[in-house]
Amino acid sequence: MKKSRFSEERIVGVLKEAEAGVPVKELCRRIGISTPTSYYWKAKYGGQEVNGARRLRRLEEGNRRPLGKITLLCGSRQRAPGQHPPVPSTNEVARTCSHAGILKD
């Protein structure tokens, strides 16, 4: 994912200026963004403090990481980048589910 040119602190600062009464077009021209970008920022970060924006970023980063159990269940087989994950056999599913206590033998 592309890294933003602007930090959360900068985005929140720009939004605070807009709330203070500076025209949006003036702010956009000054910092070099488009008007739709400013409204996207307002929808995403509006009303937040800097700590809230940082927390939102950490949560979004955490959601992009795979879950531990899924990785454990599907991580036993290697695959090339761009390939679909392998489909487990019926025996593998039954074995995994019985170990997890989902199915009883």
Task: Check residue 44 and give its pLDDT.
Answer: 86
Give the mean pLDDT of 24-32: 93
Domain spans in the chain, listed from the N-terminal domain onward: 8-64, 68-100
Tens digit of each residue's pLDDT (9 = 90 or more) over 33-79: 999 999 999 998 887 777 777 787 787 777 776 655 555 555 555 56
Question: What pTM does this model have?
Answer: 0.49
Encoding tokens for residue 94? 């039954």
**6 class by beta-carbon count within 10 Å (0-12 exposed, 13-18 middle, 19+ buried):** middle
Q: 64-74 burial, b if ≥16 CB within 10 A, otherwise e?
A: eeeeeeeeeee
Task: Check residue 82 and give its pLDDT.
Answer: 67
Task: Check residue 4 and give its pLDDT.
Answer: 77
